Amino acid sequence: MTSDLLPPLPEGHTARPVVPTDLDAVLRVHGDSEVEDSGHLAIEPEDIAGDWARPSMDLARDTVAVLDTEGVLVASAEVSRGGTHRDAAVHPKARGRGIGPYLVAWSEARAAELGAATLGQSVPEGSSPHRFLEGLRYTVGHTSWVLELPEGREVAPRPLPPGYALETGDTDERERVAYEVIQDAFDEWEGRVREPFEDWAATTVRRPGAQPWQLRVVEHEGAVVGAAFTILDSQGSGYVHQLAVERSHRGRGLAQALLSDAFARARAEGARRSELSTDSRTGALDLYLKVGMEVTQVWMHLVAALPRG
């Protein structure tokens, strides 16, 4: 796309693709934005490194960074998942300059180039980015909740039914089948774009620092029918990044067994609390509330149809 089709940047500001050496600067922008907008810091350098390591990510074409008059990176955006998802942030100290409209226009143009029919972004409910995107006629696609199991509280272990066993996903075969179970379950969501195995692996089992214990699977007669992947972050939280059970094996307590197991293993590795997120597409919020988890954040996934006027 050509820059003359985009809104002008503030005087003296420039834009270019993100490069690998920008990792710390991008982390600062997105981390400070998370704290400003949600009151919580979740993003870590491993998240960004894993994201950029996905084979489908072309940093030269799918990302943009905005630098201020002193050459400091103050905003960035990327488009992924076939152009359907945007991750963008403007540093709180750089807001109000007109950088946001530039990022939105750039990402919509890139998403259209990729053939996407819609473009969405998740933002904290009631935040400045939420109001900004609503003002641009983005509408709610789904609602997400971040839940925490407070320190000192546990999810009671759920015994597996006869014939089922919990195992560590420590082989290539188990990783591949766990991926299929997770993707098949998530593909039940309307409009979702299935991600290739190598993309999934880059943010899970190949994520920088990943260890075998993080992927746990439920097997039945030698076949993987459930899976959970847990991340132990630098703030001492065991975060269940993904959890899924094959449709034909649901309603037997497998999800709760995976959840209890994931939290217990994270605590054994040093976690002081446990977290996860779920959204309105899954219908799982009540399950997590019933096992003692508490909502700490609400995020809205805002979507616009493409092409825009």
Q: What residues does each domain of the chain span? A: 3-144+301-305, 154-291
Model confidence at 2, pLDDT cuts 50, 70, 90, reads low
pLDDT at residue number 157: 86
Phi-psi region of 3 (alpha: psi -120 to 50; beta: other; left: phi over 0): alpha
- CA 200/CA 286 separation, integer angstroms: 27
Average pLDDT, the chain: 95
Per-residue pLDDT averaged across 27-40, rounded? 98
pTM over 0.85: yes
Per-residue pLDDT averaged across 65-81, rounded? 98
> Residue 1 pLDDT more than 60?
no
pLDDT in tens, 165-224: 999 999 999 999 999 999 999 999 887 888 999 999 999 999 999 999 999 999 999 999
Burial 10-27 (b: 16+ CB within 10 A, else e): eeebebeebeeebeebbb
Model confidence at 91, pLDDT cuts 50, 70, 90, reads very high
> Residue 241 pLDDT more than 70?
yes
pLDDT at residue number 4: 63
Matching CATH topology for 3-144+301-305 and 154-291? Answer: yes
Tell how strand 273-279 and strand 237-245 pair up. parallel
Amino acid making up residue 10: P
Question: How many residues in total does the chain contain?
Answer: 309
Model confidence at 80, pLDDT cuts 50, 70, 90, reads very high
Per-residue pLDDT averaged across 68-73, rounded? 98
The CATH architecture assigned to 154-291 reads: 3-Layer(aba) Sandwich (3.40)
The CATH number for 3-144+301-305, chosen from 3.20.20.70, 3.40.47.10, 3.40.630.30, 3.60.15.10, is: 3.40.630.30
Per-residue pLDDT averaged across 242-268, rounded? 95
Per-residue pLDDT averaged across 24-53, rounded? 97
pLDDT at residue number 3: 60
pLDDT in tens, 269-295: 999 889 999 999 998 999 899 889 999
pLDDT in tens, 95-121: 999 999 999 999 999 999 999 999 999
Among residues 82, 48, 45, the alpha carbon closest in space to that of 62 is found at 82
- Which is higher by pLDDT, 309 or 44? 44
